[in-house]
Structure 1
Amino acid sequence: MRILLSLILVISCWKLGDIKNWRTYYPTILYVIINNLLYSFFVSEKKYFLWKLEPDFLLNPTFSFLVQNFIIFPCLIILFLSYLPKYQHKKITYIILAASILAGIEFIMYLTGRITYHHGWNFWWSIGFNILWVLMMKLHFYKPIPAWVVSFIITAFFIIYFHVPLPE
């Protein structure tokens, strides 16, 4: 599933994304990767996953994580930011569309057993998280420092709400 998704996203990014200006999107790509690495850091030591990527075809969990961080996320970010509308009313529709696409991909992964939910997390939380993810990408693209502050607050909320044990 992730290999197919990766191929589709790489081809889409190459053909449809603003790949020639990848440096413009690079800080936001790093922001998303760092946040995902932090999630992994917080949950992997105690094995307290809220969601977990399950093995997929030739990919073990570690390689799935790497593919997600270094192929899937960069392609999604370039595609999303390449087409971000200029007008506010169109941005709202675009954000809803982008979050819906992410939710659709995740729903297929859930149905095929490629992602599992734990400790109170479920698909509905993922829908909200996908909306936040898209909003935070947009915020980081325009205002990186406020995005980091908001990310810290959101992370603290999830840690407290889901009782995520902190690493020692």
Structure 2
Amino acid sequence: MFPIAAGIGIALCAWRWGDWRNWRTYLPTIHYFIIFDLLYNLFTWNHRLWEYPSPPNLLPNHLTMNLFIMFIFYPSFILIYLYRYPEGSSVAARVKYVLSWAALWAVWELCMNALGQCVYRHGWNFGWSAAFLLVMIPMLRLHYKNPLAAYALSIPITVFLLLWFQVPVLQ
């Protein structure tokens, strides 16, 4: 129930504080986010680093839960995060903004984990998630400003994670 309630909550926040008038501006970054998550699910189909078990999740399996997150959380998050990004502010203000979003996302994940609705596997843990958030969230901003640079950085990051966690991609 928690992820459904959180999804409704972030969608309402996006409705209130997101930039719906210019949603097309953010669509390439939404696609980038979803595509890389789909790739994660494809590469780790038989070797998931985390999963959303059912039960306790209301949705019937990991895939439907992940699709819910992709199509509700990600667009909502991006419509708020990129629109409200403190452009032209000091570096300290931008770092604080990114850290605030990473902390918010981390709290959501901690709640999911504590409720058994997100389970870590194959050496992944909350520390890896926190580190990943500190990379992922700025990468979304980078993609919004310079998509080619974001793709160029995303590929080696993905390869590193696949190798580090010994994901059997070619098996």
| TM-score class normalised by the smaller sequence | over 0.9
Q: Given that residues 52 and 61 in structure 2 are in contact (C-alpha distance below 8 angstroms), is that contact kept between their aligned partners in structure 1? A: no
Show the counterpart of 2:43.
Answer: 42
Is 1:53 matched with 2:52?
yes
Provide the secondary structure at the position in 2 that maps to 1:57. coil
Is 1:21 matched with 2:19?
no
Is 1:92 matched with 2:103?
no
Show the counterpart of 1:145.
Answer: 148
Show the counterpart of 1:136.
Answer: 139
What whole-Å deviation, never above 9, does each CA across 1:84-103 have from its counterpart, x for those lacking one? 00122211110110100010
Q: Please report how far the alpha carbon of residue 60 of structure 1 lies from its aligned counterpart in structure 2 after TM superposition.
A: 2.8
TM-score using structure 2 length: 0.93
Q: Please report how far the alpha carbon of residue 62 of structure 1 lies from its aligned counterpart in structure 2 after TM superposition.
A: 2.3
Gaps of 5+ in 2: none
TM-score using structure 1 length: 0.95
Q: Given that residues 19 and 83 in structure 2 are in contact (C-alpha distance below 8 angstroms), is that contact kept between their aligned partners in structure 1? A: yes
Give the percent of matched residue pairs that are identical in Structure 1 and Structure 2.
Answer: 34
Is 1:121 matched with 2:120?
no
Q: Which amino acid aligns with 1:111?
A: A
CA distance in 2, matches of 1:137, 1:161: 23
Q: Given that residues 52 and 118 in structure 2 are in contact (C-alpha distance below 8 angstroms), is that contact kept between their aligned partners in structure 1? A: yes
CA distance in 2, matches of 1:37, 1:14: 25
Moved over 6 A (4+): none
Gaps of 5+ in 1: none
Q: Which amino acid aligns with 2:124?
A: W
CA distance in 2, matches of 1:2, 1:110: 11
How many residue pairs get aligned? The number is 166
Q: Which amino acid aligns with 2:22?
A: N
Q: Which amino acid aligns with 1:105?
A: W
CA distance in 2, matches of 1:152, 1:129: 14
Provide the secondary structure at the position in 2 that maps to 1:82. coil
Q: Please report how far the alpha carbon of residue 54 of structure 1 lies from its aligned counterpart in structure 2 after TM superposition.
A: 2.0
